């Protein structure tokens, strides 16, 4: 009986850790995407200035 509760607890902890890792990956991807968008906007502004 104790073993199964230990296994269950360990499995739950591993699942929680996995969820946290996934969330961090998603946050990093979102931050990276925002950075790319920002760079593209800056390049567009520079291109607009050069044309004038």
Task: Kindly list the domain boundaries of the chain, sorted by start residue.
Answer: 23-52
Q: What is the pLDDT of residue 52?
A: 64
Q: What does the DSSP 8-state code read for residue 1?
A: -
Q: What is the pLDDT of residue 37?
A: 94
Confidence label for 6 from pLDDT (cuts 50, 70 and 90): very high
Q: What does the DSSP 8-state code read for residue 52?
A: -
What's the rounded Cα separation, in Å, for the pair 19 and 6?
20
Looking at per-residue pLDDT, the higher value among 15 and 48 belongs to 15
Please state the separation of Cα 17 from the chain's center in Å: 14
Instruction: Please write the tens of the pLDDT for every residue from 29-52.
Output: 999 999 999 999 999 999 888 776
What's the rounded Cα separation, in Å, for the pair 12 and 14?
5
């Amino acid at each position: 009986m104790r073993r199964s509760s230990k296994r269950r607890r360990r499995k739950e902890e591993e699942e929680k850790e996995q969820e946290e890792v996934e969330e961090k990956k998603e946050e990093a991807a979102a931050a990276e995407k925002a950075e790319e968008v920002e760079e593209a906007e800056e390049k567009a502004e520079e291109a607009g200035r050069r044309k004038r």
